[in-house]
Amino acid sequence: MTQQNVTVAVTGAGGTGVAKALLSLRNMVAVTEAGSTVYPVIPTYYNVPETLAQLRDEFVERVLQFLGLPGTDRYQWDGRDTAARREHTQAQ
């Protein structure tokens, strides 16, 4: 069995202005051409996060799922909502 290396480039907003946006796009193309996967940091507000820690936890869970690693189903979308969203609405 051969081991396969997986590289995921997590990207966020790299500043403002056309020059920085173009540089970010070029960098994403370069790492993709090198065999990496670009995984953007895009928060999902349907989970109704109340803290930065909740945004972080949800993002980490999505990256784990993307990589095929074990995680929880707390943020798994089931077509209507998620466990995190249900907990938020029940707490109110």
- Cα 50 to Cα 25, 47, 57, 78, 85: the distances in Å are 31, 9, 12, 21, 11
User: Does the reported pTM lie above 0.75?
Assistant: no
Q: Are residues 28 and 55 in the same domain?
A: no
Q: Are residues 55 and 69 in the same domain?
A: yes
* Tokens coding 89: 């609405």
Q: Are residues 37 and 58 in the same domain?
A: no
Q: Are residues 33 and 64 in the same domain?
A: no
- 52 by Cβ neighbours in 10 Å (0-12 / 13-18 / 19+) ranks as exposed
Give me the number of domains the chain comprises. 2
> In the predicted model, is pLDDT for residue 1 greater than 50?
no
Task: List, for residues 67-79, the tens digit of each pLDDT value.
Answer: 888 877 777 777 7
Q: Stretch 22-31: mean pLDDT, rounded?
A: 85
Q: Are residues 19 and 4 in the same domain?
A: yes
Q: Are residues 61 and 28 in the same domain?
A: no
Q: Are residues 28 and 63 in the same domain?
A: no
- Between residues 85 and 34, which one has the greater pLDDT? 34
